[in-house]
Amino acid sequence: MIKLIVGLGNPGRQYEKTRHNAGFLFLERLVSGLGGAWLEDARFQGLLAEVYIGGRKVLLLKPQTYMNKSGEAVGKIARYYKLDPQEILVVHDELDFDEGVVRIKKGGGHAGHNGLRDIIAHLGSKEFLRLRVGIGRPTVGVPVANYVLSRPAAEEMARIEGSFDKIESVIEKIIAADVTQVANLLHG
């Protein structure tokens, strides 16, 4: 069962609604829809919310350490609540998928994603669940860093938000950690 959902992103107004903040954007939508509220918790270097999904209490975390240091916040909260990596879901942007595509994955490497790299280092494990939210690839000549830190056009953002609809439609199954069933529903 998933007890913690981590959304990856960068804090600060200049990063709001950028592609790299897909994890933050999803959690903000989830908290709003479930009537939760964000509280700053210095112990975990992040913003925390507590919500109920399918009758189960779930913690939500938006690390405020910047993307490349996301593992610091995740490691602290995992140790404090004595969470196994298998009880953690990380929602992050994925360059390898077009906008609107979302995939669930258990374990694996970081594929060059510095937020995932840091989480793996701080948890000492790759065995957490990931929701990979497609943000598309930059056109030739556009540096990846510039692309992920830019705001998508309205139609691209609409497709990204469409992936959030897909996630919300199966969120109870995700919390139950029914990866096979979720994969069949999301990937089909």
Domain boundaries, the chain: 4-187
Return the pLDDT at 112: 81
Report residue 2's pLDDT band, with 50, 70 and 90 as the boundaries.
Answer: very high
CA dihedral (159, 131, 178, 33) positive or negative: negative
Q: Whole-angstrom Cα distance, residue 8 to residue 5?
A: 10
Is the separation of the CB atoms in 99 and 134 below 8 Å? yes
Query: Could you tell me which of 53, 56, 1 has the C-alpha nearest to residue 27?
Result: 53
Q: What is the mean pLDDT of the chain?
A: 95
User: Using one digit for the tens of pLDDT, what is the confidence trace for 161-174?
Assistant: 999 999 999 999 99
The question of whether 122 is a catalytic residue gets the answer no
Share of the chain above pLDDT 90, in %: 94
Better-scored residue on pLDDT, 165 or 187: 165
Return the pLDDT at 111: 84
User: Using one digit for the tens of pLDDT, what is the confidence trace for 5-45?
Assistant: 999 999 999 999 999 999 999 999 999 999 999 999 999 99
> What type of residue is 78?
A
Return the pLDDT at 178: 84
Torsion on CA atoms 96, 98, 102, 104, rounded to nearest 10: -20
Report residue 188's pLDDT band, with 50, 70 and 90 as the boundaries.
Answer: confident
Count the neighbouring beta carbons within 10 Å of the beta carbon of residue 45.
Answer: 19
Q: Which two tokens stand for residue 155?
A: 């139609």
Dihedral pair phi/psi, residue 73, rounded to 5° = -70, -45
Report residue 68's pLDDT band, with 50, 70 and 90 as the boundaries.
Answer: very high
DSSP 8-state assignment for residue 98: -
Average pLDDT over residues 136-144: 94
CATH 3.40.50.1470 fits 4-187, yes or no: yes
